[in-house]
Amino acid sequence: MYASRDRLVIFDADGTLIDAFRAVEMAFSHHGMDIGDYQRFQRRRKLLKYLGGLREFPKNLRHQLNKENRKQLKHTLTEIYRGEAMLFPGIDVLLKRLIEQSDVRVGVVSRNVTIEPETTLRMVFQRHGIDASQLDFLRCIPLGEEKSDQFRALRQEFGINPTRAYACGDEYRDYVSALAAGLHPMVVSYGFEDHARLIDDFAIPHEIISRTPTELSARLSHALDLDEANPGTAAS
């Protein structure tokens, strides 16, 4: 029925592999804006994510209404990503470990909003000693495009049984896309949406949510029957 007995692991980039909040925070500050603290950022609804809360909204809105200001902000964000953005602790070890597995297809599907995002992500990975050309795929899609089509296409391209495929992301949309493509979803709560919001607002089962990169590494390593890339025990 399926051409391969390989496993498939698809990662989101921003908020799952990369500490995107710190990069956005630095870019906002450079342009005289304030994105607010991390906890409030995680709890905001999607439309208000980058406009701030009540404290930050008026100033941020003035800056973002201007097309030229938005262009400059994107340019600054790109420079910060390429020069300073970091993977979450331990994620480099996890990626390298997965790349080494001959029967695991691993890569990234991202909505990264920097200029030429594939180049940007390659530079972030390279800074952590990861050659992105060793990934099986690196695909950047527009903000409005659903990931489920990409997930399904990758699974079919590699001939992988959907029960042997995993998609790891940090937002409700990542969870829905995984389910829509028949993949096992893994969700993290250290990214763009916090643990309570994922459970209370979106009814995502707490059993598949990792609170830390260490927990994600342990959970994924266990699912793939690998020695754990990082110490720690995933929550039951």
What's the pLDDT tens digit per position in 142-188?
Answer: 988 999 999 999 999 999 999 999 999 999 999 999 999 999 999 99
CB 166 within 8 A of CB 104: no
Q: Would the pLDDT of 62 be above 80?
A: no
Q: What region, left, alpha or beta, does residue 97 occupy, with left being phi > 0 and alpha being psi -120 to 50 degrees?
A: alpha
Say if residue 76 is in the same domain as residue 92: no
Do 106 and 185 belong to one domain? yes
**Residue 111 sits in the same domain as residue 204:** yes
Q: Is residue 155 located within the same domain as residue 131?
A: yes
Q: Are residues 207 and 144 in the same domain?
A: yes
Tell me what pLDDT residue 45 has.
56
Q: Alpha-carbon distance 61 to 109, whole Å? A: 30
114: domain CATH number is: 3.40.50.1000
Host domain of residue 59? 20-84
Torsion over CA: 118, 78, 27, 144 (sign): negative
Q: 3-12, 43-52, 117-126, 194-203: which has the minimum mean pLDDT?
A: 43-52
Its pTM surpasses 0.95: no
Q: What is the pLDDT of residue 229?
A: 42
**Rounded mean pLDDT of 128-154?**
95
Residue 236 has pLDDT above 90, yes or no: no
For residue 51, pLDDT beyond 80: no
What is the domain count for the chain? 2
- Report the Cα 74 to chain-centroid distance in Å: 18
Whether the pLDDT of residue 83 is over 60: the answer is yes
Q: Which residue, chain included where needed, has tokens 């390989």?
A: 6
Specify whether 150 is located in the same domain as 199.
yes
The predicted model gives 25-51 an average pLDDT of: 67
Q: Please tell me the predicted confidence (pLDDT) of residue 47.
A: 42
93/189 same-domain check: yes
Examine the domain organization and report whether 115 and 209 are in the same domain.
yes
pLDDT value at position 17? 98
Q: How confident is the model at residue 74 (pLDDT cuts 50, 70, 90)?
A: confident
